[in-house]
Amino acid sequence: MEHVYFSYSSDKKLIEDFNLKVKPGQRVAIVGPTGCGKTTIINLLMRFYDVDSGSIRVEGKDIRDVTRRSLRESYGMVLQETWLKAGTIRENLLIAKPDATEDEILAAAKAAHAHSFIKRLPDGYDTVIGEEGGSLSVGQKQLLCIARVMLCLPPMLILDEATSSIDTRTEMKIQNAFAIMMEGRTSFIVAHRLSTIREADIILVMKDGHILEQGDHEELIRQGGFYSELYNLS
């Protein structure tokens, strides 16, 4: 991202002269209070909005010069709001890779720590769920969405770590699944609990739509600024 400027309305400045260089395989965490603009960065990366000026390039190519479809196929997303369709568990997983084999489906579900709960469902992978996951718990729905991304494993990931309404044991499973998924992939993590992103290569600290600080955990703690303040409160 080079000299990026963006705002949703001309009278309210948001992102100004933002620069970020991410190497393949690095983990970038985006932190800050609710409503600070974390989602805006994701919207720009995915081209839900185009920058007002400056550029975002992937492997040297301006993302405005490729189709939105091909850009988005390069990302795997697991968001706070899970998305499932009415149909079987298997059909929901196959959205990511329609030609996946049974072995691939099982391997993805196991890697996402979803296999054990799926097997306990009345018809296993052929269990029919309704829109929004029916009777599945929040954690189970999240694990299914992780398994879906595991099935296609694109080169870049966008992960929303929001696990506020999930029990501790399921949260540990989700964190473990994220760790497996991120191995060797360029990842952008919208972080809610600062304790989970200490290992990030780059931490972007946002407030009121602006990037206040940028660096790794140790650097930002040493600076004693807004991140340090947030971390000590968490």
pLDDT at residue 106 tops 80: yes
Give pTM, 2 decimals: 0.86
For 138-158, how does the pLDDT look when each residue is reduced to its tens digit (9 = 90+)? 888 988 998 999 999 899 999
Average pLDDT rounded to a whole number, residues 37-62: 93
Average pLDDT rounded to a whole number, residues 80-92: 90
pLDDT at residue 164 tops 80: no
Percent of the chain with pLDDT over 90: 56
Among 88, 89, 86, smallest CA distance to 140 is for 89
Average pLDDT rounded to a whole number, residues 66-85: 89
The residue with greater pLDDT, 23 or 14, is 23
